[in-house]
Amino acid sequence: MSPTLIIACGALAREIQALLEANDWKAVRVSCLPADLHNRPERIPAAVRARLEAAGQAGQRVFVAYADCGTGGELDRVLAEYGAERLPGAHCYDVFAGERVMAALAEQEPGTFYLTDFLVHHFDRLILRELGIERHPELAGLYFGHYRRVVYLAQRDEPALHAAAEHAAKRLGLAFEYRHTGYGDLETSLVRFVGASSPATTGSGG
């Protein structure tokens, strides 16, 4: 049986590893691309293509753990060349919460800023420091003035993360809402792709 490779966004690494362990998927390798590519989504298709080319030479079955992620359909064009599939939806919020839920949240309050476990963990670096808010708090109003609330889409029900997400909302001066999503379509997609054909044997690598 061909080995299975998951080419993944680094922002999903923790969740994918948890699913590998929970399902005892041992004949699976994970190759993560830098999470910071989300700041330059135009670079995602080329980065995925390079990993797909390497995987093709190794004769591996490949799943791409990205949504469209701001590539404007370019990622799908790359995947079509290799007959590969990706996670459903436009972004990781769709993956975790589902497209219908995200549409309902956006209709209820268009000015919503979303957090996931990854973004809560890295809020200080990705939001406060990289946007300059840590040094210049007045910039929070410039960047987030059109937002009204933060919705934390939680993969794990952990009080410490919940508290950190609520604190992040206060730092931005926004209302806070908590929703536990679990792993959503990340789990169902991997169960379908990996679980049906993977022997119980694991390894993951970057």
Kindly report the average pLDDT of the chain as a whole number. Answer: 91
Find, among 146, 151, 194, the residue nearest to 24 by Cα. Answer: 194
Tell me the residue type at 20: L
Burial string for 127-139 (b: 16+ CB within 10 Å, else e) reads bbeeeebeeeeee
| Cα 69-74-120 angle, rounded to 5 deg | 10
Three-state DSSP at 51 gives: helix
Residue 205 has pLDDT above 70, yes or no: no
What domains sit in the chain, N to C, each tagged with a CATH number? 4-91+184-195 (3.40.50), 99-180 (no CATH)
pLDDT tens per residue across span 99-146 = 999 999 999 999 999 999 999 999 999 899 989 999 999 899 899 999
The torsion angles phi and psi of 149, rounded to 5 degrees, stand at -155, 160
pTM of the model: 0.87
